Amino acid sequence: MAGAAGFAIFGLAACSSGGTTTDDGSTGTDTGSGEEVTLEFAQWWEPELPEGMLRGLMDQFEEENPGITVELLSGPYASTKEQVVAGAASGTMSDVVGLDGAWVSDFVQQGAISDLSALMTEAGYDESQLASQVQLNGSTYMIPVVNFAYMLFSNQDLLDAAGVDVPTTRSEFEAAAKAVTTDDVSGWILPLSLEAPNGIQNDVMSWVWASGGSMLADGQPDVTNDEVKSAVEFIAQLDADGVIAPGAATLKEQDKVEEFTNGRVAMMVSSLAHINTIRESNPDLNFTLSALPAEDGYTGERGTPYASWGIGVAENSEHKAEAFKLIEFLMSEAANGELANAANAFPGNSTAVPEFVENDPMFQTAFDVWQAGYPANEFVGLPVAEQLMRDFSEQFQSMLAGEIDVDTALANAQAAWEEEF
């Protein structure tokens, strides 16, 4: 693994085959060669952005690039992932695809996504303007368009009614979760679906990183260490306390957002990308953001989990040059800054500046948390990252069900990870 994957962190599918070419002149305008190209762009971004925002950017791109039309294929994260994975396996992936860093290694091994380093060279693109790139074997396969921090979302009204403050330590979190839990409200929600196992990344390992811990040692699996064990035991205690929302084994990320938005959960670990969704769905919800609680007594920097809206080009696309034009447009200072502001995320263009930080106290708080800690996501670039999450989730769920103890669960996960590596 040494040197196989690299990720530079900035300082702050489709049901049809790859894009189609129209012959009847019904869409697009002349490209100069007489060919009119339709690019399929599969992503989960549009539902999480203000209505019409992403389509507006596509309209601008089409105006600036006559002859190229963009067809947006949009859906929730989980369903988009299923479509993209299916497209990768069948060679019918959309021309341009939204990517999660955890998918990259698998897609590269399948030969499903294109070498963006080669496309950048062919286009004469200045990659110095990119804040980060996800690379394998020295080549870029994903460009993070915008980056989202994961933080603790708290229903302030529920906490106030229970007489507790927003927690900053694990013991405070446990006490707050107990205080707010009733027959109708759960203190915390934990999505552990094996179909979309990113709950292990976002909702389990995030507790490790928040206290400066790691699940790796010299780039190799190390999930039996004391830091991981402490976090797992903490979550097991929350489960024993009865404060975790029921049905964790089948819940996905969108489920926890829905439960929190509807006031059935007092606290969740989630992405800043969901702030817009929550505000639009329930404008009256009074919620706050804070850093993930750290282990009691920990005084070091806190790792802030993050995820990116990454982008790549399908290897099966017949229009790679045009697909890269779309990426180049989305990574331009103006378009990327506009997208970052709309998504309330940190931009992928190194010169773009997010205006939302100055305009919204909640995001100012989030930005302060981001600056006070360090970006943490050890799954980015790992081989079969989603399978690693799934392996861990299987053992984790067996532990929560009382079938095995913590040490056995971690030892089994360690063995599975070593085999995957």
DSSP assignment of 59-94:
HHHHHHSTTEEEEEEE--HHHHHHHHHHHHHHT---
Length of the chain measured in residues: 421
Quick one: pLDDT at residue 357? 76
| pLDDT less than 50: residues of the chain | 1-32
Quick one: pLDDT at residue 25? 37
Q: What's the predicted TM-score (pTM) here?
A: 0.74
CA–CA gap between residue 299 and residue 294 (Å, rounded)? 9
CA–CA gap between residue 32 and residue 47 (Å, rounded)? 34
| CATH number of this structure's domain 5-147+307-364 | 3.40.190.10
Quick one: pLDDT at residue 104? 92
Do the domains 5-147+307-364 and 148-305+380-420 sit in the same CATH topology, yes or no? yes
Q: What is the DSSP letter of 15?
A: S
pLDDT tens by residue, 395-404:
999 999 999 9
Q: Name the E strands within 8-138.
A: 20-22, 36-43, 68-74, 96-99, 134-136
Q: Name the E strands within 222-302.
A: 265-271, 287-290
Quick one: pLDDT at residue 33? 52
Domain 148-305+380-420 has CATH 3.40.50.1100: no
- Parse the chain into domains and list their residue ranges: 5-147+307-364, 148-305+380-420
CA–CA gap between residue 347 and residue 419 (Å, rounded)? 36
